[in-house]
């Protein structure tokens, strides 16, 4: 296979045309649903019981996390999301559904499992700084009955969608059996399949359209720490070949992104971020923008370019941020 190296160049007029077409896309999001809770307050003293700050809570808020945040990102870009996942039978499931309804996101694809809690991440924030995070979750893999339910939901939506995002946070929803049931079905139907991966399942993502690991994840599963361009290149091409991927997008923080494609192209996309305030949820923004753009008619390179700009907007905000289609248009039009 010949390999060609290049840098990303997309004309402004073409980028605008793609963004204006994002509403065409219909995307199913399958994965670990989470509720992000925030306890906001201030610190005025240290506890006499232990050397820890005493946070006086002033307000509580909640937001969508994990696969639910990916769906919210898809929706914010103007596309239509189909959300599929598992929730518990508890107060946090009700709060999660309330948040979904509040953003006009569908809940018909949710499956309730009374035996496991809804995944909740609670962050205590004082003076705009996160003090501690408390996780409430069950990391055990879902049973075969739930796997069958999720496969049935996917099959039901398959003819209505253009692509699938598998949002794997390692919380037990994405299993080897689930991937074995869904990926061949989606490939056979000609659907675009994007995966936001977890290291433990990497070898089960074979034959998908694109995987979007960060450089730490890509290096870990390859047994090599990515410290230079040569190792990055070796790791990228080896993963692409081993997993029989159409493409691989490695996100590299301040170094931007590297897009490997099956036809032999390696494209470097420099970062657009000028201010990095909080990277929480940036991966959700990347895979949402990438998938929506690709299924709306962009090439893989163009979709990665759009995703890179969306990520630069997301990291400039605190907490899980969603980038809207209008914000993307504004960012494109402001480029020189």
pLDDT tens readout for residues 290-315:
999 999 999 999 999 999 999 888 87
Taking a C-beta distance cutoff of 8 angstroms, is the pair 168, 174 a contact?
yes
What is the band of 8 on the pLDDT scale with cuts at 50, 70, 90?
low
What is the band of 10 on the pLDDT scale with cuts at 50, 70, 90?
confident
What are the pLDDT digits (tens) for 31-49?
Answer: 999 999 999 999 999 999 9
Q: Give the pLDDT of residue 1.
A: 42
What is the band of 2 on the pLDDT scale with cuts at 50, 70, 90?
very low
With a cut of 80, say whether residue 9 has pLDDT above it: no
**Which residues form the catalytic set?**
284
More confident residue, 2 or 170: 170
Closest CA to 178 of 195, 163, 161: 195
**Mean pLDDT, rounded, for 215-225:** 94
What CATH superfamily is the domain 4-33+66-118+137-333?
Ribokinase (3.40.1190.20)
**Mean pLDDT, rounded, for 50-71:** 95
What is the band of 100 on the pLDDT scale with cuts at 50, 70, 90?
very high
With a cut of 70, say whether residue 60 has pLDDT above it: yes
Q: Give the pLDDT of residue 283.
A: 86
Closest CA to 217 of 250, 240, 247: 250
Name the pTM for this structure. 0.92
With a cut of 50, say whether residue 96 has pLDDT above it: yes
What is the band of 4 on the pLDDT scale with cuts at 50, 70, 90?
low
**Mean pLDDT, rounded, for 88-116:** 96
Taking a C-beta distance cutoff of 8 angstroms, is the pair 87, 96 a contact?
yes
Mean pLDDT of the chain: 92
Q: Give the pLDDT of residue 223.
A: 94
Q: Give the pLDDT of residue 281.
A: 58
What are the pLDDT digits (tens) for 237-293?
Answer: 999 999 999 999 999 988 889 999 999 999 999 877 555 544 555 889 999 999 999
With a cut of 90, say whether residue 192 has pLDDT above it: yes
Q: Give the pLDDT of residue 278.
A: 47
What are the pLDDT digits (tens) for 175-185?
Answer: 999 999 999 99
| pLDDT more than 90, % of the chain | 82
**Mean pLDDT, rounded, for 125-129:** 89
**Mean pLDDT, rounded, for 17-41:** 95
| pLDDT more than 70, % of the chain | 93
**Domain boundaries, given as residue ranges, for the chain:** 4-33+66-118+137-333
Taking a C-beta distance cutoff of 8 angstroms, is the pair 226, 232 a contact?
yes
Bridge pairing between strands 4-7 and 163-167: unpaired
């Amino acid at each position: 296979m010949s390999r060609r190296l290049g840098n990303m160049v997309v004309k402004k007029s073409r980028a605008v045309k793609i963004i204006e077409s994002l509403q065409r896309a219909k995307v199913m999001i399958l994965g670990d649903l989470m509720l992000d809770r925030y306890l906001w307050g201030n610190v005025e003293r240290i506890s006499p019981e232990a050397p820890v700050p005493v946070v006086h809570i002033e307000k509580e808020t909640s937001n969508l996390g994990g696969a639910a945040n990916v769906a919210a990102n898809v929706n914010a870009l103007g596309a239509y999301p189909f959300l599929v996942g598992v929730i518990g039978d508890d107060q946090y499931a009700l709060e999660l559904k309330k948040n979904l309804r509040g953003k006009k996101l569908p809940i018909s694809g949710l499956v309730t499992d009374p035996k496991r809690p809804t995944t909740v991440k609670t962050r205590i924030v004082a003076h705009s700084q996160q003090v501690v995070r408390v996780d409430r979750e069950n990391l055990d893999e879902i049973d075969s009955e739930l796997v069958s339910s999720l496969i049935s939901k996917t099959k039901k939506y398959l003819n209505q969608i253009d692509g699938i995002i598998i949002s794997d946070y390692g919380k037990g929803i994405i299993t080897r059996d689930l991937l074995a049931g869904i990926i061949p079905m989606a490939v056979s139907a000609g659907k675009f399949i994007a995966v936001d991966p977890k290291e433990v399942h990497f070898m089960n993502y074979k034959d998908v359209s694109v995987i979007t690991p960060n450089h730490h994840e890509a290096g870990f599963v390859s047994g090599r720490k990515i410290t230079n361009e040569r190792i990055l290149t070796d790791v990228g091409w080896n993963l692409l070949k081993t997993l029989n991927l159409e493409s691989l997008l490695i996100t590299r923080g301040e170094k931007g992104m590297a897009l490997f494609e099956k036809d032999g192209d390696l494209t470097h996309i420099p970062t657009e971020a000028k201010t990095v305030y909080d990277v929480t949820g940036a991966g959700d923004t990347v895979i949402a923008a990438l998938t929506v753009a690709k299924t709306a008619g962009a090439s893989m390179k163009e979709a990665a370019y759009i995703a890179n700009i969306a990520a630069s907007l997301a990291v400039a905000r605190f907490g899980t941020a969603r980038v809207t289609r209008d914000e993307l248009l504004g960012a494109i039009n402001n480029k020189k």
